[in-house]
Amino acid sequence: MKKMNSINETAKLCRENDIGISRSHLIQLAKNGSIPSVKIGQKILINWDGLMKFLDTNTLPPDEPKSGIRKISA
């Protein structure tokens, strides 16, 4: 596997490995600096190991159950 992959290659690898990240989300993560990437001209190259490290260290808290009665204002 290559160290740096294009957005399309990375999205394909994510699909093959059942990682739920879309192409547009990869672009967003690369542009805001969340994952290691390099922009060369119009092309963005993403570091696969950096993406895996990002996914290992950045997890979302579990959703709180939404049960019971909640107040609403009229």
HSE-CB for 50 with a 13 A CA cutoff? 17
pLDDT of residue 51: 92
Q: Which residues contact 34 (CB under 8 A, 6 or more apart)?
A: 54, 58
pLDDT of residue 73: 77
pLDDT digits (tens, 9 = 90+) for 31-51: 998 899 999 999 999 999 999
pLDDT of residue 71: 72
Query: Does the pTM of the predicted model rise above 0.85?
Result: no
pLDDT digits (tens, 9 = 90+) for 10-33: 999 999 999 989 999 999 999 998
pLDDT of residue 67: 64
